[in-house]
Amino acid sequence: MSTVIKVENISKQYRLGDVGTGTISHDLNRWWAMLRGKEDPTLQLGEVNDRSKAGESDYVWALKDINFEVKAGEVLGIIGRNGAGKSTLLKILSKTTQPTTGTVKLKGRVASLLEVGTGFHPELSGRDNIFLNGAILGMTKREIQSKFDEIVDFSGVERYIDTPVKRYSSGMYVRLAFAVAAHLEPEILIVDEVLAVGDAEFQKKCLGKMKDVSVNDGRTVLFVSHNMTAIQGLCNQALVLNNGMVSFPKGNTNKALQMFKNSISAQSLSSDLSLVQTRSGSGNLVINSMIFKNKNSEIIISPSTGEKITIEFEVKAFMDIKSLSIAIGFYSQLGECKLILWNELLNSFFDVNKGVLLIFCVIDNFPLTVGSYTINLITSSNNEILDWIQEAKSIEVLGGDYYNTGKTIESSHQTALVPHKWEKLI
């Protein structure tokens, strides 16, 4: 099969900080260098895009020397953590931004679904928006007309087709938007994160359509998603990006996913969270550390199913904070949220004084089954996010005797366990 995408030495440099101030002096610098026939001085700067280290330069490489080829009909998954450069790569491929160096060669029409519904106008009816959106995505009026019924049918919003889309529910909106995009019939389809929305049934429909597009029509699909189940089910090839570089060259999807999971688990086993950079929020309160303890108050690295555990946080408040809300989210390696422990749901808010304090969360029977989980933490007060740490920590849950029956539950076929009883009536 012929190569339809050839990415050669693609690099993309971004300037950090406040773009816009001081740009004139940088511009002058560049011109001066150009006049003397020297290389652009800013291109020599720039470092690997590692967010957890404070960089010395204002310039970072969001992508550095990316090379790969995609053949017709392949479905390539692109995997990577937040900020690994996935979206930048897709943006270059879909021509919304230019690479700093390198070239991309393409055969055929490219359509990107970087976000569905782009260009939808709230005042226009669904019908008008189908035409507008279709045209933005590169279809001619005649093409849209010939597929109009199909699009409406796929979206399932016939009844509202002449209603302005501002009156649509968000679900209907997405359905309609995806329906237009799905009927584009480009040679190369670029998909990012579309599956984050819509109900399960619709997601299935979308995945089916994408598979259909690649298998039956021999089109090429580039797919970026946090939904690893989707990547596994859909892609026959995958590559892993890390800090703007290819850390696993294009190859077998399962191997790529495995390698990606390993790299996540390897991420610090230490309890110290102060160095974790994937965080946002006002910073009026920060979580310094998180540790798991068993019933004997011994620190453990991996909790077991059914065990009584205490999760202990050391937090530092930089001011007095009223009604502190704190939540722990456990995510499976496929990116699905499996469990949230949240004091707000129990109405047990804390009023916190300035200073360092400890917060405990006690779970009598740890309900998650065997597997790796990533933990996200969020603290807030009156809807203001104080400290939000994504991928704060990865933990391994071990099998345990949840029901106290001497039976260790090793299987991960089930997601969660709950205490329950069985009875019979004569």
Give the binding site for another protein (CB under 8 A).
6, 14-15, 19-20, 23, 91-110, 112, 114-115, 118-119, 121, 123-124, 128, 131-132, 135-141, 164
**In this complex, which beta carbon is closest to another protein, that of residue 114 or of residue 361?**
114
Shortest separation between residue 189's beta carbon and another protein, angstroms = 13
C-alpha 161/C-alpha 127 separation (Å) is 5
C-alpha 404/C-alpha 341 separation (Å) is 23
* Residues facing residue 372 across a β-bridge: 396
Shortest separation between residue 102's beta carbon and another protein, angstroms = 7
Q: Are strands 321-332 and 337-342 parallel, antiparallel or unpaired?
A: antiparallel
Shortest separation between residue 106's beta carbon and another protein, angstroms = 4
**In this complex, which beta carbon is closest to another protein, that of residue 44 or of residue 270?**
44
Shortest separation between residue 66's beta carbon and another protein, angstroms = 13
DSSP assignment of 295-354 equals: TTS-EESS-BTT--EEEEEEEEESS-EEEEEEEEEEEETTS-EEEEEEGGGGT--EEE-S
**In this complex, which beta carbon is closest to another protein, that of residue 82 or of residue 140?**
140
Would you say 355 and 239 are in contact if contact means Cβ atoms under 8 Å apart? no
**In this complex, which beta carbon is closest to another protein, that of residue 92 or of residue 213?**
92
**In this complex, which beta carbon is closest to another protein, that of residue 106 or of residue 363?**
106
C-alpha 145/C-alpha 182 separation (Å) is 15
**In this complex, which beta carbon is closest to another protein, that of residue 139 or of residue 179?**
139
Residues 6+ apart with CB under 8 A from 24: none
Shortest separation between residue 76's beta carbon and another protein, angstroms = 17
C-alpha 286/C-alpha 356 separation (Å) is 10
Shortest separation between residue 21's beta carbon and another protein, angstroms = 10
